[in-house]
Amino acid sequence: MDDSTEPRGDEARIERVLFRPAAPVPTQGAVSWPALVRGLLRSDFSHFPAAAYTTRVYRIPVRGRTLLMPSGPAQVREVLVSEHDNYPKSRVMQRILGPLIGNSMFVTNGDVWRRQRRMIDPTLELSRLKAFLPLMQGAVDDMVARMGQGGEMDLDQETMRVAADILCRCVFSEQVQPGMVDELAETFRRYQALVPAFLALEGLGQPRWVLPLRQLRARRAGNRIRGRMAALIRQRLDSGARPEDLLTGLIEARDPQTGHRFTETELVDEVVFFFLAGHETSASALSWSLYLLANDPQAQERARAEVLRELGPAQADFSGLRRLRFTRDVFREALRLYPPVTAYIRDALGTARLAKRDVRAGDLVSVTPWFVHRSPRNWSHPDLFDPDRFQTEAGRASMREAYVPFNTGPRVCSGAAFATQESLLVLAAVLGRYRLHPVPGRAPQPAAWLTQRSRNGTWLRLEPLSRRTGRDQSRNTS
């Protein structure tokens, strides 16, 4: 970690060797709140100046209060870890996501959140992940079958589909039909598309009813998803069946302190939230990982060689996945460059100080991992794709201090291990079967929606390999 923003001596050499992935260019000068709102509606980071990357706490006055965006490691830790009681989840999130996820743990605070966390964490603990492996593998096999002979395709469609399918299988085991998985994913996508406008309005301090049509669409999408999930949950409760999956974990969860069990409405809240938390995020991480690999043929060959060596032609096993060190570093680097959750938004409860500046009660604090991960104060050559950085001393130090794709502290993502396992399975399946190439003229344009996605899809060309040897089929048959 470096306190200066001066380029290092080897920067020019590194620039020539490493891939510089798509990213918006920061603006010059300060940003006013109308510009911020316009930017929020456009949904990318191009409306932020370079100072947002280099200042420890970047501040924007917004109609009587301040939006603070910490990217300095000490300030990020204060907000997320040491002083987290002063920075609860913002009511903004409850207002925006409430019609979809009700009072799930993602938007609650205090004792209610602590109880939810005590009950939910065991359902996602490491020992259960082994049991999920065959369920995940089934969804991955179907993805590979759909990809068939490859060719040019928008990988976003496939990553969304496989992540949604994995989530459905791990929550409901066999119950969910493919048609319904697609319908759920599409309805979630429609809800997501409405979020930037709601966020912009929150920034302006305007009530959401000024957008009645979007409000209505959000409520409809929320009700549709909740209705589908509620029916599946009722079916399970009525059947009395208890397969080894996430829904059984939630139904049987009991708070060790109070003995509380989830009511049926609470089950719907948490299941819908699992779906929201677990499919868009993983799909985003996977699309960006594949895009980065397609544009760095050397890294791609190394990852493929590792997959073929450690997993072989057979189906992936738990210990084999853990040996995918380089592939895991590629995934880590994708999460650094394109952190799937765009912002961790908090309300300041009381007065405080951050980087020697006042925070007042009612101020909005947004830890935005894009800035934390791309600050030249926190990472060397932060805009370049360098999966090997995690094996260097400097990279490890940066990772300890300034790497928060899953958040950190008490509200760290409960599904990080789940997400890593499914992502390695998907990456291994694709790398073991296809060589990835970029499609000229179709570089992705990053968009900061609720998750970090590409505005124009992730278009790649998949060239089939021989499964047994990992060599091109075309070469083998000629």
Residue 43 phi, psi dihedral angles, 5° rounding: 65, 50
CA angle, residues 209, 215, 216, in degrees to nearest 5: 120
> Rounded CA gap, 444 and 153, in Å?
13
Q: Which residue stretch of 29-37, 133-141, 278-286, 295-303 sits at the interface with ligand HEM (rule: CB under 6 A)?
A: 278-286
Please provide residue 14's backbone torsions phi and psi, each rounded to the nearest 5 degrees.
-60, -45
Residue from 418, 434, 449, 459 in contact with ligand HEM (CB under 6 A): 418
Q: According to the binding rule CB under 6 A, does residue 249 interact with ligand HEM? A: no
Does 411 contact ligand HEM by CB under 6 A? yes
Q: Which is nearer to ligand HEM, 69 or 124 (CB)?
A: 124
Is 414 among the residues that bind ligand HEM (CB under 6 A)?
A: yes
The residue at minimum Cβ distance from ligand HEM is 415
Question: Which ranges of 295-382 does DSSP label H, i.e. alpha helix?
Answer: 297-311, 318-322, 325-337, 369-374
Count other Cβ atoms within 10 Å, centred on residue 86: 18
Q: Which two tokens stand for residue 346?
A: 């908090």
- Check binding of 419 to ligand HEM (CB under 6 A): yes
Which residues sit opposite 75 in a β-bridge?
none
Q: Examine residue 70 and tell whether it contacts ligand HEM (CB under 6 A).
A: no
Residue 138: CB minimum distance to ligand HEM, A: 17
Using CB under 6 A as the binding rule, whether residue 403 contacts ligand HEM is answered as no
DSSP element (H, E) containing 365? strand 364-367
Sign of CA dihedral 202, 208, 214, 218: positive
CB neighbours of residue 236 within 10 Å:
21
**First-last CA distance in the chain:** 51
**Under rule CB under 6 A, how many of the chain's residues touch ligand HEM?**
23
Q: If phi over 0 gives left and psi between -120 and 50 gives alpha, with beta otherwise, what is residue 93?
A: alpha
Query: With CB under 6 A as the contact rule, which of the stretches 149-157, 402-410, 436-444, 470-478 interacts with ligand HEM?
Result: 402-410
**Rounded least distance, CB 124 to ligand HEM, Å:** 6
Minimum CB distance to ligand HEM, residue 367 (Å):
8
**Residues 132, 170 contacting (CB under 8 angstroms):** yes
**Part of the chain binding ligand HEM (CB under 6 A), chosen from 280-288, 299-307, 385-393, 426-434:** 280-288
Residue 170 annotated in ligand binding: no
From 33-41, 95-103, 152-160, 406-414, span contacting ligand HEM (CB under 6 A): 406-414
Instruction: Determine, following the binding rule CB under 6 A, whether residue 140 of this chain makes contact with ligand HEM.
Output: no
- 396 within 8 A of 390, measured Cβ to Cβ: yes
Closest distance between ligand HEM and the C-beta of residue 155, in Å?
15
Q: Which stretch binds ligand HEM (CB under 6 A): 12-20, 247-255, 279-287, 298-306?
A: 279-287
Site track for ligand HEM across 324-363, x = CB under 6 A: ----------------xx--x-------------------
Bridge partners (DSSP) listed for residue 472: 465
Instruction: Choose, by CB under 6 A, the member of 406, 434, 449, 459 that binds ligand HEM.
Output: 406
DSSP per-residue string spanning 154-192: EHHHHHHHHHHHHHHHHHHTT---HHHHHHHHHHHHHHH
Identify the CA nearest to 432 among candidates 474, 464, 475: 464
Q: Does 129 bind ligand HEM (CB under 6 A)?
A: no
- If binding is defined by CB under 6 A, does position 415 make contact with ligand HEM? yes
Closer to ligand HEM by Cβ: residue 228 or 435: 228
380 contacts ligand HEM (rule: CB under 6 A): no
Q: Does 268 bind ligand HEM (CB under 6 A)?
A: no
Q: Does 371 bind ligand HEM (CB under 6 A)?
A: no
Q: Which residues pair with residue 57 across a beta bridge?
A: 70
Q: Taking CB under 6 A as the rule, does residue 278 contact ligand HEM?
A: yes
Q: Which residue type is seen at 436?
A: L
Name the region of 361 (left: φ>0; alpha: ψ -120 to 50; beta: rest): beta
Positions that interact with ligand HEM (CB under 6 A): 105-106, 117, 120, 124, 274, 277-278, 281-282, 285, 340-341, 344, 405-407, 411, 413-415, 418-419
State the binding site for heme. 413
State the binding site. 413
